[in-house]
């Protein structure tokens, strides 16, 4: 129905609907306007904050592991160049 022209929309209604009522609703609406999109199920703030905290903890853990691996690589490289 979204891709229909107004003249085509007049021919479209469900079998159990009263065509007169459908046409009245169609004619009563403002032409060329659609309803703004409604946000899908809003996510509670507590859940969003929990997900953010979990991602930050994982990020910190990754950073610590990366720092440790860099130090280890530097130590190995230093030993091979000195020794």
Question: pLDDT tens track of the chain, all 83 residues?
Answer: 556 666 666 566 566 667 677 667 666 666 666 667 777 777 888 888 999 999 888 888 889 899 999 999 998 888 877 65
Distance CA 78, CA 68 (A): 15
> Exposure of 10 by Cβ count < 10 A (0-12 exposed, 13-18 middle, 19+ buried)?
middle
* Count of other CB atoms within 10 angstroms of residue 22: 15
């Amino acid at each position: 129905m979204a891709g229909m022209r107004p003249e085509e929309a007049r021919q479209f209604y469900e079998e159990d609907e009263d065509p007169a009522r459908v046409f009245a609703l169609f004619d009563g609406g403002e032409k060329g306007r659609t309803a703004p999109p409604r946000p899908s199920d809003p996510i509670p703030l507590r859940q969003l904050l929990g997900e953010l905290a979990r991602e930050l903890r994982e990020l910190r853990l990754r950073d610590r592991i990366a720092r440790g691996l860099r130090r280890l690589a530097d130590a190995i490289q230093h030993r091979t160049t000195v020794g």
